[in-house]
Amino acid sequence: MVIPEVSVKLYEYEGRELFKRYGIPVNDYVVVRNVEEARKAADVLGGRTVVKAQVLVAGRGKAGGVKVAENGDEAAELAAKMLGSVLKGEKVESVLVTSYTEIESELYLGVIVDRFKRSPVVIASAEGGVEIEELARTSPRHVLKMEINPLIGLADHQVRRVLSFMKLSGDIAAQAGKILRGLYRLFVENDCELAEINPLAVTPDRKLVAVDAKIIIDENAVFRRPEFRRPESGSGLEAEAARLGFTAVELDGDIGIIGNGAGLTMATMDMVKLKGGSPANFLDVGGGAAEDVVDKAARLLLTHPKVKVLFVNILGGITRCDEVARGIVSAYRSVGGGKKIVVRMMGTNEEEGKRILLENGILPFDSMEEAAERAAALAR
C-alpha cells in the first residue's frame, strides 16, 4: 500500500516554537494573518521590525518575502502586500513580524541525515547567513561536517570540536555549546531530516540568537509525531493522486504514465522521452495493485485534460497482469472516450491479462521499448 506523502517542512514560526522548547534563543516574534494584527504586533515589539512571509519554498528573501519596517504603519503596509500574494508559486497565508536584531556576525549550525554515512552529521560554520551547500562547494575548509553515531549521540568532545572550529571562546562558546546540544536533541526527538539555524546571529552585546529556523520532519515518522501531520488540501493531479493513495508527480507533456514500482515508472518516463514523446506525469501504483486501484489510477489520468495518450507499463511480480487488465478496461470503457491507450505487460498471469485486453480492443505490447515508441507516435 502506498501511503500518500505528507509535506512536513515546517514554517519558520513552527521552527521557532521548537527552538524555544529546546532552549535555543530566538528574537521576539508574532505570527499574524491580517494587516491589523501586523500593525499591532509591530507596535508591541516597538521600533524597527522585520516582516517575513511564511512560505516553505526556498529563496524567500531574494523573492521579496523579507522586508524591514520602521514602524507599525510600514509593517501593516508590508503585511498587506505579502498576505494573499503568491511567492515563488506559494500563496502567503501568514507573516511573521519579528523585532529587528542588530547583527555583528553570523554563524551557521545544522544537523542533517547523511545518506552515505547513514548517520546524523552536524554542520557548522563561522560564516553563516549564506546557503551552506554553496559555501561547502566554494570554501569547503570553512564548513565543518562531523558525523555523530546515532547510538551514542552528541559527545562533549564533539561539541568542543565545533566550538573550536568556529573559533568561539568564553561566554559566546558557552552559549553556542548549549544551542548545539539543544539543536541535536531537537533533531533526534522530533525525527528530523534537517534542523538548521541560519543565521545564528552574534549581537553587539555578545548574545547568540536564532533569526531563522528551517526544519524538515521525516514523513515516515509522522505516525508518531501527529503534531506535524498536515491535511492534504492541494488541488491538481498530485493532490488528487495522493488522496487516492498514489504517488504522482505532474510534468509538462501529454503522455500519461502509469507504472508499478518507482524505478520502473521513472524508466518508463525516460523511455517515452527517448522515443520522442513527452510524459504528462509520474504515477506509481505500487506493488500488488488490484483491479480497483488500477481503475482509479487510469481514470485519474484519462480524465485529465492534458493527457492525450495513456501508457501503462506493468511488470507483474506480486502485481497480477489480469487484475491490471481488468482495471484498465473498466476505466477505459467508462471514461476513455477519444483518448488513446498503450499497455505493456509482462509477468504474473500475463496471458490472462493480454487476453482481457485483446477482447476489449486494446493491443498489448511485450516490449517496453516498442510500447513507448507507439505511445510517442500516437501523441504526435
Partner 1 sequence: MAILVDRDTYVVVQGVTGRQGAFHTRAMLKYGTKVLAGVTPGKGGQNVEGVPVYDSVAEAVENHPQINTSLVMVPAPHAGDAVLEALNSNIKLVVVITEHVPVHDAMKFINYAMLRNSHIIGPNCPGVITPEAAKVGIMPGHIFKRGKVGIVSRSGTLTYEIAYQITVNGLGQSTCVGIGGDPVVGLNFIDVLEMFRRDDETEAVVLIGEIGGDLEERAAEYIVRTRYPKPVVGYIAGRTAPPEKRMGHAGAIISLGAGDPASKIKALNEAGVAVASTPKEVASKLVSILK
Where along the sequence are the contacts to partner 1 (CB under 8 A)? Answer: 3, 5, 113, 115-116, 118-120, 133, 149-151, 188, 191, 193, 218-221, 223-224, 247, 249, 251, 259-267, 269-274, 279, 282, 284, 287-288, 315-318, 346-348, 367-369
In whole angstroms, the minimum distance from the beta carbon of 310 to partner 1 comes to: 17
In whole angstroms, the minimum distance from the beta carbon of 219 to partner 1 comes to: 7
In whole angstroms, the minimum distance from the beta carbon of 52 to partner 1 comes to: 21
Beta-bridge partners for 66: 52
Order of strands across the sheet with 49-53? 29-32, 95-99, 49-53, 66-69
First to last CA, the chain: 35
Cβ 96 vs Cβ 52: under 8 Å: yes
Assigned C-alpha cell, 367: 516490449
State yes or no: is 196 an active-site residue.
Answer: yes
Between 106 and 147, whose beta carbon lies closer to partner 1? 147
Cβ 8 vs Cβ 230: under 8 Å: yes
Handedness of CA 164, 165, 170, 172 (dihedral sign): negative
State yes or no: is 11 an active-site residue.
Answer: no
Beta-bridge partners for 326: none
Between 86 and 152, whose beta carbon lies closer to partner 1? 152
What lies within 8 Å, CB to CB, of 310 at 6+ separation is 255, 256, 258, 298, 301, 302, 339, 340, 341, 342
Cβ 87 vs Cβ 55: under 8 Å: yes
Query: What is the C-alpha to C-alpha distance for residues 327 and 348, in angstroms, rounded to an integer?
Result: 16
Between 19 and 246, whose beta carbon lies closer to partner 1? 246
Q: Which of 350, 264, 352 is nearest to 311 (CA)?
A: 264
Between 169 and 367, whose beta carbon lies closer to partner 1? 367
The DSSP symbol for 10 reads P
Q: Which of 260, 257, 263, 300 is nearest to 275 (CA)?
A: 257
In whole angstroms, the minimum distance from the beta carbon of 280 to partner 1 comes to: 11
In whole angstroms, the minimum distance from the beta carbon of 371 to partner 1 comes to: 12
In whole angstroms, the minimum distance from the beta carbon of 190 to partner 1 comes to: 10
Between 65 and 253, whose beta carbon lies closer to partner 1? 253
In whole angstroms, the minimum distance from the beta carbon of 121 to partner 1 comes to: 11
Between the CA of residue 310 and those of 50, 261, 289, what are the distances in Å?
A: 50, 17, 18
The DSSP symbol for 60 reads T
Question: Which of 108, 238, 291, 350 does the annotation list as catalytic?
Answer: 108
Specify the DSSP element, H or E, that contains 76. Answer: helix 72-82
Question: Which of 12, 37, 74, 196 does the annotation list as catalytic?
Answer: 196
Between 6 and 103, whose beta carbon lies closer to partner 1? 6
Between 148 and 159, whose beta carbon lies closer to partner 1? 148
So which residues are the catalytic ones? 108, 196
